Structures are given as C-alpha cells and as structure tokens.
C-alpha cells in the first residue's frame, strides 16, 4: 500500500534528477534568504549553488549543527517572512535553549504527506481509528502524526499522553484500531492493558505507529505480543521538521527516506568525510522542500547506515537501518562505546524479566563501573534463589559478550523502575557526582 505511489516508486534515475534540481534550488534559496547560510556558503566557495553539477557536490556545502540552531535561536534560520509562517514547533530542549522549527502552509502540507506515507506503509487506512498518545504541545510528534493521519482519512483521537485508565477506556469504547506513541509509552500501556484483565478481544487494536526514540526488535516484539498489534517504526526530528523523514515499509528491513524531500548522507563523525554506501556513521540530511526553515547538511548525531538497494516492497527510496541511538546517548565506559539499545537487545526477551531497565554509571577509584538494574517480571522468582543466581549469571555473560565489558547486574522488584510517557531516560550517570 502506498500513499503517493508514483513518487514512492519513482525510478532512481528520475528521483536523483529531481533531488539535484531541488538541491540547487535549496542552496540558492538559503543563500538569498538566510544571512547565516549566505555567509557560510560564501566562505566555502559554494555561493548560490549554481556550480553544483551532481548530487555528490553536496559535500562542498558546510554542515549545520544543533549549535547553529541554538546560536540562531529563535528565528535566525527562518527563510520566510513571519506572515507566511503558520506554525512554530520546538524540541523539548532538555539541554539549554530548545530547537525551534517554523512552517509555512506548504511545509505543513509536505510534512503531512511524508507522515501519511509512513502511516500507510505501516498499514493505516481511512477505516482506522487512531489514538495519538504522544504528548501534544510544542513537540512535533503529536501534531505531525495528527495531520498526516487526517490526510489519509483515518479517524484521529488527540488523546495526548497520561491518564492510563482513560487511554484504555478510549481504546475499548471508541473501537481504537491503531496507537501512536513512543515505544516506551506503548510498552507501558501494553502492560496496563494486560493487567486491566479485559480480554484482547474487547479491543480492536491492530496497529502501532511508533517512533521518536530507538526501539529494538526485541522490544517491538514484546509490545506486539502484549497488544496483539503490528508495529512499524518511523523517524524524524524537530530540526528537519519532525516525524516522516523516514519510516518502515512492510518489509521492516530499513526505513525508507522521503527522498524527494530529504537528501541523506552518512559521514564519519570524527572526520566529516562521506562514507561509502553501507558504511555506518552519522546521518546528515539536507531538506529539499522546506520553505520556513530549510536546512543544509544537518548533522543529526544519529548513527546509522544507508542502502540504495531495491526493496521488495517496490519503494525506490533509500533506506536507513535502525539507529543505535544518538552519539549524545552513547556512553563511553572504560573507553568502550556502548549504546543503551545494545543492552536492551540482551535484556528484553530473557525469561523472568520485564522490559524495564536502568543503566547506572559510577566512578570508583578512578575507574568506570557499569551497573544494570533490571526489573523482574514476577516477584515469585525472588524466592527461588538458585534460579535467580543463574539468571543473573547468564545476563552478565551475555552482556559481556555483546558489550565487551563487565557489568554488574542487579535484579529489582517488579514495578520499581520508572515508567515513561514520552521518551525513556534510562541512563543515570553518576561519574561526575562527588
């Protein structure tokens, strides 16, 4: 199923010609409308982009970083006059000033198309009743999915997050067929549904359109089993306009970019060099259609790889592999790079333990220590000492082989670790605490 079949299955040659034309337009637009880009493009000798001949010439354009967004807060990167801006979104801004994005009417339209593509690829039709349990507000996720789903003709319930009882009541009373949430919140809701005790046949749920944070296949399987749904993943970020940058197709073997609107590259994050196809590195994206806030070569900090191989689903647009997470979330423990998703993939799916965990980093005698606190699914096990020990040992061994590090595994009582309504925050880094 496609939302815009002609574009989504466009022969690559045509697609690349379209990208090249739009890249040149975008560079000229940035050069003419945004003093920040004007200066950078001039300094780099790219100018208005009229000398760009091929897509790989994008490498001569300077990067844009989150710092650049901060330094130009709030509207320094706007390319359109405020009278043409119809919406402002912002990131949660956990560190410093939030990142702001502004949208023209056309931006909202293109964005909704991108989200609609992802949702249709995930199985949504105009017969679906979708509950959006993302927190509404400045966050791009909720309104992004909202507009995209409406465009398909699905029935949208703007539930927002929180109030679990009410969430479940709406599931049942409104005949909800699809859920939009972060994987963490979907997991939380799925456990609540199990505990509420109504049989799954009292629900009409069949789809989950999840995103906005990493979700391992193991975690996905757990959510699917708890709710009896099929889950697809989609990716995006405030700086690039929000969700819909890429998303799963029915193959679930990499998320297809909306390549007519975004030009992706992979770089070595240390050197800034472009990597060859398939290489794992930092995703860099140039927007090709945005009017309010076009972005040249944005360094996403997300680590992934891209393939241009034809996909059995028929879509021709490039696919990115699931991101291991942002370089920001990557922990360096005793010099070893560790992503929370690596730990998650070991833990989820092991017997007797719930999918909830916390990573605690400390510094003891100038050395890093890693403790992983894992919640037991069933308190009964606490009385079965030997099994408990075996479980702990096997987790320790598997973590060691996956991470190449010693980790202390602590098993904690059911329901004692924090649950999340938005993105999960699993790392507790105490290394710089006195």
- Distance from C-alpha of 249 to C-alpha of 378, rounded to nearest angstrom: 36
Instruction: Return the range that interacts with Zn ion (CB under 5 A); candidates 136-144, 159-167, 171-179, 306-314.
Output: 306-314
List the 262-267 sheet strands across, edge first.
Answer: 262-267, 281-287, 298-304, 325-326
DSSP H or E stretch at residue 433: none
User: From CA 325, how far away is CA 210, in angstroms rounded?
Assistant: 16
Report the partner that residue 214 touches, choosing among ligand ADP, Zn ion, K ion, none (CB closer than 5 to 8 A by kind).
Answer: ligand ADP
Q: How far is the CB of 84 from K ion (least distance, A)?
A: 6
Q: Which does 251 bind (CB under 5 to 8 A by kind): Zn ion, ligand ADP, K ion, none?
A: Zn ion
CB proximity list for 227: less than 8 A, separation 6 or greater:
179, 186, 189, 190, 193, 200, 203, 205, 208
Interface with Zn ion: number of residues (CB under 5 A): 5
User: Interface with Zn ion includes 251 (CB under 5 A)?
Assistant: yes
Minimum gap (Å) between residue 312 Cβ and Zn ion? 7
Nearer to K ion, 85 or 374 (CB): 85
Which of 193, 219 has the CB closer to ligand ADP?
219
CB of 78 to K ion, least distance (A): 12
**Contact region for Zn ion (CB under 5 A) — 13-21, 313-321, 328-336, 382-390?**
313-321
The minimum distance between CB 211 and ligand ADP, in angstroms, equals: 4
Q: Which does 265 bind (CB under 5 to 8 A by kind): ligand ADP, Zn ion, K ion, none?
A: none
Which of the choices Zn ion, K ion, ligand ADP, none does residue 323 contact, using the CB cut-off of 5 to 8 A by kind?
Answer: ligand ADP
Question: Minimal distance in Å, beta carbon 306 to Zn ion?
Answer: 13
By the rule CB under 5 A, 258 interacts with Zn ion: no
Smallest separation (angstroms) from Zn ion to the CB of 112: 21
Distance of closest approach, residue 255 Cβ to Zn ion, in angstroms: 9
For Zn ion, the binding residues in 315-344 under the rule CB under 5 A are 315
Write each residue from 314 to 353 as x if it is in contact with K ion (CB under 5 A), else as -, in one continuous string: ----------------------------------------
Cβ atoms within 10 Å, residue 262: 25
What are the distances in angstroms from CA 297 to CA 130, 150, 207, 262, 264? Answer: 34, 30, 34, 10, 8
Which residue, 98 or 122, is less far from Zn ion as judged by CB?
Answer: 122
User: Least distance in Å: CB of 64 to ligand ADP?
Assistant: 14
d(CA 399, CA 366) in angstroms, rounded, equals 23
* Closest among 319, 402, 407 to 371, alpha carbons compared: 407
What is the closest distance, in whole angstroms, from the C-beta atom of residue 243 to ligand ADP in the complex? 7
Edge to edge, what strands does the sheet with 427-429 contain?
408-412, 367-376, 353-364, 427-429
- Listing DSSP states for 369-383 in one string gives EEEEEEEES-GGGGG
Per-residue CA distances from 423 to 94, 134, 143, 220, 363 (Å):
12, 10, 16, 15, 26
Q: Which stretch binds Zn ion (CB under 5 A): 3-11, 130-138, 248-256, 294-302?
A: 248-256
Whole-angstrom distance, CA of residue 361 vs CA of residue 371: 6
302 binds, among K ion, ligand ADP, Zn ion, none (CB under 5 to 8 A by kind): ligand ADP
Retrieve residue 236's tokens: 């995006």
Scored b (16 or more CB within 10 A) or e, 379-392 reads eebeeeeeeeeebe
CA distance 335 to 326: 17
Per-residue string for binding with K ion, 73-92, x by CB under 5 A? ------------x-------
Q: Does 120 bind Zn ion (CB under 5 A)?
A: no
Query: Measured between alpha carbons, how far is 214 from 341 in angstroms, rounded to an integer?
Result: 7
Positions in the binding site for ligand ADP (CB under 6 A): 91-92, 211-214, 233-238, 300, 302, 323, 326, 423
Residues that bind Zn ion (CB under 5 A): 249, 251, 311, 313, 315
């Amino acid at each position: 199923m496609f939302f815009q079949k002609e574009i989504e299955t466009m022969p690559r040659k045509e697609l690349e010609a379209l990208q090249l034309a739009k890249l040149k337009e975008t560079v000229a637009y940035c050069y003419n409308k945004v003093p920040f880009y004007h200066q950078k493009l001039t300094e780099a000798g790219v100018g208005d982009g009229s000398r760009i001949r091929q897509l790989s010439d994008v490498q001569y354009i300077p990067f844009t970083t989150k710092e650049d967004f901060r330094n130009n807060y709030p509207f320094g990167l706007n390319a359109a006059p405020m009278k043409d801006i119809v919406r402002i979104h912002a990131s949660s801004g956990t560190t410093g000033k939030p990142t702001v994005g502004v949208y023209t009417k056309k931006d909202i339209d293109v964005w909704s198309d991108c989200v609609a593509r992802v949702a249709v690829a995930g199985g949504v039709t105009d017969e679906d009743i979708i509950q959006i349990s993302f927190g509404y507000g400045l966050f791009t996720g909720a309104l992004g999915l909202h507009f995209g789903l409406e465009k398909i003709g699905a029935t949208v319930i703007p539930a927002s997050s929180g109030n679990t009882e009410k969430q479940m009541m709406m599931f049942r009373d409104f005949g909800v067929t699809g859920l939009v949430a972060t994987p963490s919140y979907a997991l939380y809701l799925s456990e609540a549904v199990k505990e509420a005790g109504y049989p799954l046949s009292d629900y009409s749920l069949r789809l989950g359109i999840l995103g906005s944070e990493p979700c391992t296949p193991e975690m996905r399987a757990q959510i699917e089993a708890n709710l009896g749904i099929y889950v697809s993943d989609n990716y995006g970020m405030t700086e690039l306009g929000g969700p819909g940058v890429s998303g799963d197709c029915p193959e679930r073997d990499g998320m297809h970019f909306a390549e007519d609107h975004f030009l992706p590259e992979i770089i070595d994050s240390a050197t800034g060099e472009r990597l060859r196809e398939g290489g794992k590195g930092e995703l860099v994206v140039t927007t090709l259609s945005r009017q309010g806030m076009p972005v040249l070569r944005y360094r996403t900090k997300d680590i992934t790889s891209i393939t241009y191989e034809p996909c059995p689903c028929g879509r021709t647009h490039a696919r990115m592999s699931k991101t291991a997470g942002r370089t920001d979330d990557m922990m360096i423990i005793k010099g070893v790079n560790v992503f929370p998703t690596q730990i998650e993939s070991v833990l989820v799916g092991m017997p007797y333990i719930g999918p909830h965990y916390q990573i605690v980093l400390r510094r003891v005698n100038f050395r890093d220590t890693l403790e992983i606190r894992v919640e037991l699914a069933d308190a009964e096990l606490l009385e079965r000492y030997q099994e408990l020990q075996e479980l702990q040992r096997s987790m320790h061994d598997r973590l060691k082989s996956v991470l190449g590090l010693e980790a202390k595994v602590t098993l904690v009582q059911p329901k004692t670790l924090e649950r999340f309504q938005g993105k999960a925050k699993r790392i507790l880094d105490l290394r710089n605490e006195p």
